[in-house]
Structure 1
């Protein structure tokens, strides 16, 4: 079973940038967001969803701001040059993936369709578990006893926040790196939430009756798109590059 999950993990690690968006679209086509007012629990679910998304984005920002590691691998394969154990990686072995799961859970909950919530969270939790197993196999083979000791000391998924101070002691938070490395995640998350809300608003009253609200949503989508493009251009110009050390 573990070997099969590792194979699945390697596959999704390689193709996740293409497959994850397609899977989310497929899930929403299978279980589309219901119209506003279809459930008495809708306001509570929406608030809980936003809190989960904010927590996920905040966790990712904290991870990247203190000790970023390249999660893209090498040639789309699991790879690590060094064993990173400081920053949030001293609190949890996979804090970026925990952040991702919080975001995905919030997005699926925001959709308001119970089927999307159950299928979406369950499917992505399984996939991330497979990816983590694939990464763990690589890291154990490369770093041996050092990695096994790290695994004994730091949990795979739980956040031992009591260790945050000691894990980040002497480190400084790098805002530039957060913007440069994670602006696309923030943009994609906000666009997904707005598209869901756009669909629900149009479904609830029709495009004509909900036109003012839909126009606001469209304006926000355009603003996010323009901001994302501007940050991308600034990044290419090196605005967010970290200063080189002076020797």
Structure 2
């Protein structure tokens, strides 16, 4: 029992979420629900996480000598996609600044932005980061480890940042946000 409590304490101190099993049917468990822990999440903003993943991709690619799937010379075709992904991310940021609404991930939203790039994606900034990360994976030669990191970024972003932001948006904007969710997908 003591060992289980110590493991739970360590897991909660490292992990930004507190997990609990939810029972939908008597005797059947295993569905995870996430409860947000803001103290841990506030330390790692999405652009910082993006840069960490780019550096990790480069380090893993060169230090571990990961096998590459993209032939030499073709990797430069990724540069326009890096630029396009970053342009998409910055266009969402620019629109928030133009509307004078809060852009900080963990701040309270002032306004529900549904125009511009937000007509096609509820999360164009994260989508732009993912496009850029996939393009960086190609630029680095298409190492499998780079693509795995890009996939991990998607999972972390979707389950960590977006889950938090959507809860805050639902609480703040209610049915207006629900209607927006019905019209516009989370990613694309």
Q: Deviations over 1:97-117 (max 9, x none)?
A: 111111122122211151332
* Residues 23 and 89 (structure 1), Cα distance of their counterparts in 2 relative to 1, 3 Å cut: closer
Q: How many residues in Structure 1 have an aligned counterpart in Structure 2?
A: 151
1:150 aligns with 2:172: no
Aligned to 2:146: 117
- Secondary structure of 1:83's match? coil
Give the structure with the larger helix fraction.
1
Corresponding residue for 1:165? none
- Out of 26, 29, 33, the residue aligned to residue 59 of structure 2 is 29
What is aligned with 1:196? none
Distance 1:12 1:115, change over 3 A: farther
Q: Paired residue for 1:45?
A: 75
Deviations 1:160-195 (A, max 9, x none): xxxxxxxxxxxxxxxxxxxxxxxxxxxxxxxxxxxx
Measure, in 2, the Cα distance between the counterparts of 1:22 and 1:141. Answer: 31
Higher strand share: 2
1:7 maps onto 2:36 in alignment: yes
Structure 1 unaligned runs (5+)? 159-247
* TM-score scaled by length of structure 1: 0.51
> Equivalents in 2 of 1:9, 1:3: separation in Å?
16
Hey, what's the Cα distance between the residues in 1 that align with 2:114 and 2:57?
Answer: 36
**Structure 1 residue 138: Cα displacement:** 1.0
Alpha-carbon distance change, 24 to 64 in structure 1, aligned in 2, over 3 angstroms = closer
Alignment pair present for 1:59 and 2:88? yes
Task: Report what 1:238 is aligned to.
Answer: none
| Structure 2 residue runs without a partner (length 5+) | 1-30
2:128 maps to which of 99, 102, 118:
99
User: RMSD across aligned C-alpha pairs, in angstroms?
Assistant: 3.1
The counterpart of 2:114, out of the listed 85, 93, 104, is 85
3-state SS of paired residue (1:3): strand
Q: Which has the higher contact order (CA 8 A, sep 6+)?
A: 1
Secondary structure, aligned partner of 1:42: coil
CA distance in 1, matches of 2:151, 2:69: 22
Alpha-carbon distance between aligned partners in 2 of 1:88 and 1:25, rounded to the nearest angstrom: 28
Deviation string 1:64-110 (CA, Å, 9 cap, x unpaired) is 4545453324xxx2421111112221221111111111112212221
Counterpart position of 2:103? 71
CA gap of 1:59–1:24, structure 2 versus 1, over 3 A, is closer
Question: What is the alpha-carbon distance in structure 2 between the residues aligned to residue 106 and residue 9 of structure 1?
Answer: 31
